[in-house]
Amino acid sequence: MSHQVLVFYGSYRSDRQGVRLADYIVRSLREGGAEAELIDAREIGLPMLDRMYKEYPAGEAPAALETLAGKIRSADGFVFVTGEYNWGVQPGLKNLTDHFLEEWFWRPAAIASYSAGRAAGVRSAVAWHSILSEMGMVVISSALSVGSISKALDAEGRPVGEGGAALARAFPRFSADLAWWMEAARTQRRTTPPPY
């Protein structure tokens, strides 16, 4: 049975570039047989956090939250595509993730970072590592890091140039690592109910 993977991306900028990497990852995961879906925080457009999903009485959460909660609970794993704003995480994606907690539990997550410069957003990747751990995900050790994002991927998310070639070389190990942990977690959830 194929794995269901949600790929999260959270820039709200008009001229955003990281969507190229998100598109590349969704397409590449699908080519590898996964059921991958882009979760674009800007498109979902949640307001700044007021109530978390779980703070609403059952059946009374706004439709966007209810739908997303269902998708998160059904997923086998997650990819977080993250750019770096002033050495930190992008607020749109952080705001979206903070709406949920238990819905994330007991699944693996992978981080793919990028930036306009050569540092490839790795400082935001480090920040996301602890955030995702706190939210109950197991962060896999394989990561993608793409510098000079607009030179490594074209507007359709196709790898170009040296940066694109490096990304294409790195992707198979990244996706194999995630797939192994998704399968492991799926088996474990089936055979041993989570303790809480």
Ligand X SMILES: Cc1cc2nc3c(=O)[nH]c(=O)nc-3n(C[C@H](O)[C@H](O)[C@H](O)COP(=O)(O)O)c2cc1C
82 near ligand X, rule: CB under 6 A: no
How distant is the alpha carbon of residue 131 from its chain centre? 12
Residue 117 dihedral angles phi and psi, to the nearest 5°: -100, -160
Chain residue whose CB lies nearest ligand X: 18
By beta-carbon proximity to ligand X, the closer residue of 45 and 70 is 45
Spatial strand order of the sheet with 77-82 comes to 35-40, 4-9, 77-82, 107-114, 137-146
Residues in a beta bridge with 77: 5
Cβ 46 to ligand X shortest distance, Å: 17
Per-residue contact track with ligand X, 148 to 167, x per CB under 6 A? -x------------------
Residue 138 dihedral angles phi and psi, to the nearest 5°: -100, 115
Helix axes 161-191, 19-31, angle to 10 degrees: 60
CA distances, 45 to each of 41, 48, 66, 103 (Å): 6, 9, 14, 19
By beta-carbon proximity to ligand X, the closer residue of 77 and 83 is 83
94 near ligand X, rule: CB under 6 A: no
User: Which of these segments, 13-21, 101-109, 158-166, 173-181, binds ligand X (CB under 6 A)?
Assistant: 13-21
11 near ligand X, rule: CB under 6 A: yes
| Contacting residue, 17, 113, 142, 175, with ligand X by CB under 6 A | 17
85 near ligand X, rule: CB under 6 A: yes
Token couple for 115: 């930036």
117 near ligand X, rule: CB under 6 A: yes
Distance CA 132, CA 23 (A): 21
Residues in a beta bridge with 189: none
| Contacting residue, 115, 128, 146, 178, with ligand X by CB under 6 A | 115
Residues of this chain that interact with ligand X (CB under 6 A) are: 11, 13, 16-18, 83-87, 115-117, 119, 121, 149
